[in-house]
């Protein structure tokens, strides 16, 4: 009795698990790390800009992005930590300026 090659190919693939919607929705590990790296860079940029303007909004955003990037295992951990420190510095600058002026609005000059 001879085994037909196409039949064996169908037979071996018939028992292979088919990817479901959950497998298609999960990002690849490389894409997740790339996304975390982007969050680390965004955290740094937002923290840096937040020192000059809109520190009430940009400081917390920088902190959240840095925490997410570190939690997701970014390869740019130093940049994420720097973004975290800059976000905290944004809020410290805001508190110092608000306590000096007794108002939530401030300007340079």
Asked if residues 35 and 71 have their Cβ atoms less than 8 Å apart, the reply is no
Nearest one of 75, 81, 72, 71 to 43, comparing CA atoms: 81
Q: CA-CA-CA-CA torsion for 57, 61, 63, 68, nearest 10 degrees?
A: 170
Question: Bigger pLDDT: 76 or 105?
Answer: 76
Task: Give domain status of residue 3, yes or no.
Answer: no
Range of the domain at 99: 30-109
Residue 15 in any domain: the answer is no
List all residues 6 or more positions away from 52 whose beta carbon is below 8 Å from its beta carbon. Answer: none
Give the tens place of pLDDT for each residue, 45-55.
Answer: 999 999 988 88
Residue 24 lies in a domain: no
pTM beyond 0.85: no
pLDDT value at residue 35: 87
How many domains would you assign to the chain? 1
């Amino acid at each position: 009795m001879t085994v037909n090659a196409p039949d064996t190919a169908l037979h071996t693939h018939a028992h292979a698990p088919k990817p479901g919607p959950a497998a298609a929705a999960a990002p690849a590990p490389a894409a997740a790390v790339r996304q975390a790296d982007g969050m680390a860079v965004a955290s740094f940029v937002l923290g840096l800009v937040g020192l000059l303007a809109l520190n009430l909004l940009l400081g917390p955003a920088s902190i959240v992005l840095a925490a997410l990037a570190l939690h997701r295992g970014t390869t740019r951990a130093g940049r994420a930590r720097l973004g975290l420190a800059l976000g905290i510095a944004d809020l410290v600058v805001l508190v110092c300026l608000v306590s000096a002026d007794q108002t939530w609005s401030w300007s340079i000059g």
